Amino acid sequence: MTAPTSPTKERLLELVAALGTAQWQDFSASAARHGLTGVQAKLLAHLKGPVPMRGLATLLVCDASNVTGIVDRLEARGLVRREPDPSDRRVKNVVATDEGRETIRRVRAGMHATHTALDALDAEQRTALYALLERLRDGLRPGS
């Protein structure tokens, strides 16, 4: 037989969980080396442009009041800035400062374990992995 009987869903589930955990550990450890918590770095990672507080709460899947505290701490370190939205005075847009952008870049670059793991795959494997993960994520995203 070509395939040694496909792995059970339980085994796959376990593996996906283990991978997610390992990746988060790697990310958090790298963030810690730059004086950030994992959550702070994750928020920073979402700031490719200005994002309203509410939008961050949606992205992080948490209450808006939680975002207030995280942004407070990032702002105190000068990695992020709140600026008023010109078209809606209720909204505060969060923007990464130059230092913030540089910091998150370094955090990503410092994920040694993840980089090493990905380096172990050749181009073909990466393409296959990408396709499979994309498919998985699409199923994982919306609702059930």
Partner DNA sequence: ACCATTAACTTGACTACCTCAAGTATCGGG
Partner DNA sequence: CCCGATACTTGAGGTAGTCAAGTTAATGGT
φ, ψ dihedrals at 142, nearest 5°: -70, -110
> Which residues, 6+ apart, have CB-to-CB distance to 80 below 8 Å?
44, 47, 71, 74, 94, 95, 96, 97, 100
91 binds DNA (CB under 7 A): yes
C-alpha dihedral (135, 139, 141, 142), degrees to nearest 10 = 140
CB 101, min distance to a copy of itself, A:
15
Among residues 58, 66, 68, 127, the one that binds a copy of itself under rule CB under 8 A: 127
Segment 95 to 134, residues that bind DNA, using CB under 7 A: none
138 binds DNA (CB under 7 A): no
Segment 61 to 120, residues that bind a copy of itself, using CB under 8 A: 61, 108, 111-120
Rounded-to-integer distance, Cα 142 and Cα 82, Å: 30
Distances (CA, A) of 62 to 43, 57, 94: 12, 5, 16
CB 55, min distance to DNA, A:
7
Residue 128's binding partner among DNA, a copy of itself, none (Cβ under 5 to 8 angstroms by kind) is a copy of itself
Residue labelled with tokens 């808006």: 64
Binding region for a copy of itself (CB under 8 A): 3-4, 6-7, 9-13, 15-27, 45, 61, 108, 111-121, 123-130, 132-141, 143-144
